[in-house]
Amino acid sequence: MEKQLTRKMERFAQEYVTDLNGTQAAIRAGYSPKTAKSKASDLLKDPRVQAAVEARLQELAERAKMTQEQVFQELVKVAKADMSTFAEWGPGGVVLKDSKDLRPEDTAAVSEISQTVTDAGGTRRIKLHDKLKALELLGRYFAMFSDNVNLKKDVTINVKTEGEGWGAE
């Protein structure tokens, strides 16, 4: 018969799904900050905790009603967004396009629209979601980048000192 999760373990699983940061989840669950990192590592290896985390992630996914594919598609919309879809500009100024002419996949990339009206005319502003961030996340999804930096490489650096040819080249 498998043991039940303790209250702290249950709390850890609950906290972990908040930001997927094991160390911080352990601290918020009541574990010592000094041992939180190793405790989180141990907890995340425990099949009971893994099951609790997975169950919570499933609950959140169900509540959000978004699949991995949907998240991917939303990122693609932002990554492919092109400002010329929303506005035209040139020597004569900037003209925003009518929202009725935009497709839903285009408007999904819009973060903010505002208009300020003044006696002098006013301003209109359209801001898109962060395209570089969407591209970064897609790049991570496709494992295009490596976040591991190997600092154990031997490196030779040649440095000229003042007596060895400063300005001589």
Domains of the chain by start residue, with CATH: 7-64 (1.10.10.1400), 69-141 (no CATH)
The Cα–Cα gap between 101 and 98 comes to 6
Residues composing the chain: 169
pLDDT digits 0-9 by tens, 1-24: 568 989 999 999 999 998 899 999
pTM of the predicted structure, to 2 decimals: 0.50
Contact indicator for 123, 116 with CB cutoff of 8 Å: yes
pLDDT in tens, 49-68: 999 999 998 888 788 777 78
DSSP H helical ranges for the chain: 7-19, 22-28, 36-45, 47-64, 68-80, 104-107, 131-141
| Residue whose token pair is 């929202």 | 99
Alpha-carbon distances, residue 114 vs 94, 121, 126 (angstroms): 14, 14, 7
Instruction: Report the interhelical angle of 7-19 vs 47-64 (nearest 10°).
Output: 50
Residue position matching structure tokens 């006013």:
122
Query: With 50 as the cut, is the pLDDT of residue 169 above it?
Result: no
Token reading at 84: 């010329």
CA 76 to mean position of chain CA atoms:
14
pLDDT digit string, tens, across residues 112-143: 999 899 998 888 889 999 999 999 999 888 88
Q: What is the pLDDT of residues 70-107, one digit of tens each?
A: 889 999 999 999 999 999 999 988 888 999 999 998 99
**147: DSSP letter:** -
Q: Which tokens in the block code for residue 112?
A: 């903010």
In terms of Cβ atoms closer than 10 Å to its own Cβ (0-12, 13-18, 19+), residue 47 is exposed
